[in-house]
A and B are shown apart, each in its own frame.
Chain A
């Protein structure tokens, strides 16, 4: 069982301020839940840049190489067929499929990468049971503090109220 304390703020600026203050007073396991991406929040929470570009590059190169090898093997090795006198290994003619496959592989990797990195699909997350938390996708800016034990809950609740949270909730559930 994990515990969190959630606090709702009415504007992204106030939420970022509160996050900064919370981190300064020692609450490090923070997350923000907002209806749209908020500019400075990554820096305040100390989140590193996403590694997806590297994944995309690797998948793209892999897709390209794979497609070229398939074409070379099928046309020049396994089933040599003379088509209008063009060479069996027709490099220029293999470029279009190679390119498309690179894009397909990279796009698939990016999509799956986002899904996996975000821990989705997860439709039963304990936050989603909270009626008040619905505003997190509408007009509320929420901070989530992960805490241990009931004294942690009390401390986080106090801190969130102090930094101006309009609504404060304690949530318990499986991570």
Chain B
């Protein structure tokens, strides 16, 4: 084994403040856009919020799953997931604009004209669940659960770094992490499931699909893993986690990414096939809104770009083992994630007519800038790997196959 050293992250100050500045500008621009076109800006903001939050939540879920599975190989890349997961509380703040824009977003808040009697009756039936106070209360609960688990897992991991060696206390901290993560995982998944109903599916409150939340969840994990692959390619300075990752780690990361890409496509296709083949009037509206009038191009791009292309690329061992190639696939998938979330959100505003409003871009940059700045702040001054984790040595000499 080489006598490499693990270093604390000292650079990156410029990136952090730059991102914060871009974020503030973007959010300001979106706010101004909201003056002129409130509905478009609200949907653009929701798209950006859902996109960046999904990265953070995907990281939280996969991090907890690693702990629950007692997996050793991901120890080397775990800090990046911990940082992403610990950024959850920021989204509680970023949720405020969504809460304020509710009348522009959700038809069940401000009933649009032209609803039939049957529709009104259905909305009245759903009213015990879909009402503003309960909606806000649930959001509070979700953020409390995710935030508490994400922040605790991160803080324990940082506290472990301060141990003088792999001491008994360090081992105990790992044990606590595993217990908290496995115990909280069911609750976190349930929160994610209902949050996707609240914030995305209820944009069209008369439509429902029971597999929707799983599709969103798998997409979120794809986004998180893609982010890890991308950052690993950048964090290749001496002693940083990208430099410590060998072909074996990238291979496993790539295989996991392939798995979740397939799961995402599987859930999405199951939903489509079942709606298509049963052809019920109350169900097909959702696909009519998302396939007619130009949206079909987005749908096809998703089928090819979010599944077909990465599927075949990630089948290749050479791509998975190569840090740069995997990062390229990751970057591509992050783009596709944006397209996917856009395709989920926007047709609710303009069904059957593909449109784009510039506030989507500014909101994406705004929320994204602040998110990246938060990651930078959390990462700065710390190690990029959990140095005192008892399984770091195992992770570093993980076998090839």
Contacts and interface: CB of A to CB of B under 8 A. Distances in A.
The reply, when asked whether chain A contacts chain B directly with Cβ atoms under 8 A, is yes
Contacts of B279: 84-86
B277 A95 contact: no
Interface stretch (B91-99, B109-117, B268-276): B268-276
A86 B277 contact: yes
A18 B276 CA distance: 64
Nearest to A84: B279
Select the residue from A86, A92, A93 with max chain B CB neighbours within 10 A.
A92
A86 B279 CA distance: 9
Interface string A96-119: 000000000000000000000000
Contacts of B273: 92-93, 95
Contacts of A93: 273, 277
In which size bucket is the chain B interface?
under 10
- 7 interchain residue pairs of minimum CB distance: A92-B273, A92-B276, A93-B277, A92-B272, A92-B277, A86-B277, A95-B269
A28 to B, nearest CB: 26
A95 B277 CA distance: 12
Contacts of B277: 86, 92-93
Contacts of A92: 269, 272-273, 276-277
Interface residues of A, number: 6
Interface string B266-292: 000100110011010000000000000
A85 B276 CA distance: 12
A92 B299 CA distance: 14
A84 B280 CA distance: 12
A112 B343 CA distance: 45
Interface in B48-94: none
Contacts of B272: 92
Nearest to A96: B273
13 contacts: A84-B279, A85-B279, A86-B277, A86-B279, A92-B269, A92-B272, A92-B273, A92-B276, A92-B277, A93-B273, A93-B277, A95-B269, A95-B273
Interface in B238-273: 269, 272-273
Nearest to A91: B276
Contacts of A84: 279
A44 to B, nearest CB: 17
A159 to B, nearest CB: 32
Contacts of B276: 92
A84 B277 CA distance: 9
Contacts of B269: 92, 95
Contacts of A85: 279
Contacts of A86: 277, 279
A167 B14 CA distance: 69
A85 B278 CA distance: 11
A93 B277 CA distance: 8
A88 to B, nearest CB: 14
A93 B273 CA distance: 7
Nearest to B275: A92
A95 B273 CA distance: 9
A54 B277 CA distance: 35
B163 to A, nearest CB: 35
Given A85-B279, A86-B277, A93-B273, 10 more contacts: A84-B279, A86-B279, A92-B269, A92-B272, A92-B273, A92-B276, A92-B277, A93-B277, A95-B269, A95-B273
B323 to A, nearest CB: 22
Interface string A149-167: 0000000000000000000
Nearest to B277: A93
Interface string B191-210: 00000000000000000000
Interface in B88-145: none
B261 to A, nearest CB: 16
